[in-house]
Structure 1
């Protein structure tokens, strides 16, 4: 054996180490993706669902179609929304996009 040749077994990393080195970046990317994107979206969805489930008579709501009105009746999965005098529509709770806070200051004031 010459000085330039080295035993092959001493230089080669074990297959377990190579596997961990190759998968570590993928796991790290997934963890960062989870923390920055998936968790906040799940929190927003959970908060929105709680807001819609808590809607009650007298609340001002925005429907998925952009209609704004006041809730006059709430049943299990539906709400009756008054859009104007003697103009009432029934909407599914799931189609409500927002509940307007009556104490909130308008954006253009």
Structure 2
């Protein structure tokens, strides 16, 4: 007798058949909204930033001041495909792969900070 009551209490009670496709969509709606929020707040801006970085790497030219991924500042003295020759100090040059350039160094901003 006890098992009949437990089984009845665990049953859906006829609601499962009444929900249909609209009820299933309602169950997935929070997941769909969470994916949309993650896409617009995290994934899309990250893709945009990666695209800008790739374009900056493609636009590097001789004479540009750069910051490497290792934190070294230098000036590009030669370009050979993906290999850059970077002058770190007068008379001291190293070769760096284009992919290890973190960004362009802005010498104007440094001069502004020194004058303050």
Asked if 1:37 corresponds to 2:42, the answer is yes
Maintained 8 Å contact 1:62/1:100: yes
CA apart distance, 1:101: 3.6
Deviation at 1:91, TM superposition (A): 0.3
**Structure 1 segments unaligned to the other structure (5+ residues):** 1-7
Write the distance in 2 (CA, Å) between the matches of 1:85 and 1:51: 25
Q: How well do the aligned residues superpose, as a CA RMSD in angstroms?
A: 1.8
Q: Could you give the per-residue CA deviations for residues 65-106 of structure 1, whole angstroms, max 9, x where no partner exists?
A: 11111000011111100011211100000000011244x423
Superposed, 1:1-109 pairs within 5 Å as: 8=14, 12-14=18-20, 16-102=21-107, 104-106=108-110, 108=113, 109=116
Question: Equivalents in 2 of 1:73, 1:61: separation in Å?
Answer: 13
CA contact (8 A) 2:73 2:105 kept: no
TM-score normalised by length of structure 2: 0.77
Distance 2:90 2:53 in 1: 29
Question: Is the 1:52–1:99 contact (alpha carbons within 8 Å) kept by the matching residues of 2?
Answer: no
Determine which structure has the larger helix proportion and give its number: 2
Q: How many residues were matched structurally?
A: 99
Say whether the 8 Å CA contact 1:63–1:97 is kept in structure 2: yes
- Which consecutive unaligned segments of at least 5 residues does structure 2 have? 1-13
